[in-house]
Amino acid sequence: MNIGSWFGNLTLPAFLADLWPNLAATTLGIVIGVPFALWVNRRMLEHERREGVRNDREQLGHAIACILDEVETNAGAFETLASDIEQKKLMFELGINSCSWEANREELIRLLRDADLRTTIAGYYFGVGIAMRLNSTLFDTSVGASLNSSPELLKALRVPLVGHLKRLKEIGDKLHPRLAGVKEQLSSPA
């Protein structure tokens, strides 16, 4: 039998003689190659996972460092502001900030596993927002009150604002060591 019409002068015995070694080599390649390819793939996926974890730790560390710096900065501003308001000084510029929370909120929510710490940080910054609004209302009322002369209204705004600023200082003082501990954990090797 001559199969040579398509393959040149290839005869069936020659074809069968070449088939078995080629089939054995192909089968051996598949038997060895597929598990090896799966092993390489598994190693690559594990490497990507470790890199992702390392990147997440680094990103969380930077976010915590920003929040920690801002809590430290705000603590001094809360004391100064509370003292000035008690002395009936008018404060236009507070010196308190919430930019780190705005910039890092999504990373902290996604990466920080301690739900209680996340809640404390969010509550702290919610309180910062309240202090900013109260001060703005106090300022607006003070400027307008000079025309209407309403000391009761000013006192009604000053007292809660001072109390709120003191509570924020206390919260910040409690939050600071917790943030520093998380920052220290993240800076140590995993």
The 10s digit of each residue's pLDDT in 25-37 is: 888 888 888 898 8
How many separate domains does the chain show?
A: 1
Q: What is the pLDDT of residue 137?
A: 78
DSSP 87: T
**Residue 24 scores a pLDDT above 90:** no
**Would residue 46 count as lying in a domain?**
no
**Would residue 126 count as lying in a domain?**
yes
**Would residue 29 count as lying in a domain?**
no
**Would residue 73 count as lying in a domain?**
yes
DSSP string, 24-84: HHHHHHHHHHHHHHHHHHHHHHHHHHHHHHHHHHHHHHHHHHHHHHHHHHHHHHHHHHHHH
**Would residue 84 count as lying in a domain?**
yes
Q: pLDDT over 70 for what percent of the chain?
A: 86
**Would residue 21 count as lying in a domain?**
no
**Would residue 124 count as lying in a domain?**
yes
Q: Which residue has the higher pLDDT, 82 or 67?
A: 67
**Residue 46 scores a pLDDT above 90:** yes
pLDDT grade for 6, boundaries at 50, 70 and 90: low
State mean pLDDT over 93-107. 85
Q: What is the pTM of this model?
A: 0.68
Give the model confidence (pLDDT) of 155-181 as tens digits: 777 778 888 888 888 888 888 899 888
- CA–CA gap between residue 162 and residue 86 (Å, rounded): 7
**Residue 4 scores a pLDDT above 50:** no
**Would residue 6 count as lying in a domain?**
no
Q: What is the pLDDT of residue 92?
A: 63
Tell me which of 25-34, 35-44, 137-146 is least confident. 137-146
Which residues are registered as beta bridge partners of 2? 11
Q: What is the pLDDT of residue 106?
A: 92
